[in-house]
Amino acid sequence: MFAKLSLATVYLAAVSAAHPATTAARVAVRDKYVFYKGDGSTGAGWPSQSAWASFHDLWFANVPLMQQSCGWNGWGTNDSPNEIQAIKDAIHDIQGATGVDSRFILAVMMQESKGCVRVPTTNNGVRNPGLMQSHNGAGTCANVNPCPSNQVTQMIKDGTFGTSSGAGLKQLLTQARSAIKDNGSRSFYAAARLYNSGSADYSDLDNGLGSTVCYASDIANRLTGWTLAASNCQT
C-alpha cells in the first residue's frame, strides 16, 4: 500500500482466460496494456467506467492467474478452488458493506498480490500484509495452508475499509473525489494513486512520489481486462 513498490511478478507462461462470449451490451475484456498519462480523465485518454469490463468477465479473466500466482512468485502452494471462491465471496460482501465497486477491489487486489492468498507481508516503512497489502492490517495467510475464509475476508476488508493505522479504498475514494471534484472514473484512478503512494499529484497520476510509477495506469488497464499482455509502461 502506502510508500512501497508493487511486489515483483514473474510470469512463466501466458494463460488463456476462458470467459463467456460478450454481447453487444457487454464490454469485451481486453488483455492489452495502454500506457495512460496525465490526470486520469477521459479527456486525457483514460477509460471511462462504461469502458470497464463487468465483474463477471474480469473475474474469469483473472482466475487463471490466481490458480498459479503463488507458485509463479515462489510464495507457496497455489490457491485452492475453495480459497479462490472465498476471495470472490469476500469481494462481494465487502462491496455490499462499503459501496466500493467490486471491480475496483478486484483490480487493486490483483495489482497488489496477483490473488495469491499466501502473499508475503512487505515492509518498506509500513507493514503491508495480505491480498491487498493493506496498511498494517490484521489479515494475512503468509505461510498458511489452507487459508481460512475468515482470513480471506479480513484481508479484503483491511484493504477496502481501511485499518486503525491507515485508510482503505473507501476512504481514499472519498478523499480523491473531494480533491478533484469528480465522482467518475478519474476518482478511482486518483484513489489508486493514493493507495499506492499515500499522496497524489492529481495532475499527473504517473508521478509515483517514490512508489510505483505506473500504478494508476496499471489499475485502469486491469479494469478493462489486462492480465498477462506485456506492459509498455515507461518508468
The yes-or-no verdict on residue 14 having pLDDT over 70 is no
Structure-block grid coordinates of residue 78:
497455489
What's the pLDDT at 1? 63
Residue, of 234 and 219, whose pLDDT is higher: 219
What's the pLDDT at 26? 80
What's the pLDDT at 2? 59
The yes-or-no verdict on residue 131 having pLDDT over 70 is yes
Distances (CA, A) of 182 to 39, 81, 101, 171, 174: 12, 38, 16, 15, 10
Q: Are 121 and 128 in contact (CB under 8 A)?
A: yes
pLDDT tens sequence across 22-69: 334 588 999 999 999 999 999 999 999 999 999 999 999 999 999 999
Distances (CA, A) of 155 to 133, 168, 230: 8, 11, 28
Per-residue pLDDT band for 5 (boundaries 50, 70, 90) equals: very low
Which residues are paired to 122 by β-bridges?
Answer: 128
Average pLDDT rounded to a whole number, residues 203-228: 97
- Residue 43, classified by CB atoms within 10 Å of its CB into exposed (0-12), middle (13-18) or buried (19+), is exposed
pLDDT tens sequence across 65-113: 999 999 999 999 999 999 999 999 999 999 999 999 999 999 999 999 9
Q: Which of 148, 137, 141 is nearest to 118 (CA)?
A: 141
Q: Which domains does the chain have, with CATH numbers?
A: 42-223 (1.10.530)
What's the pLDDT at 234? 82
Per-residue pLDDT band for 235 (boundaries 50, 70, 90) equals: confident
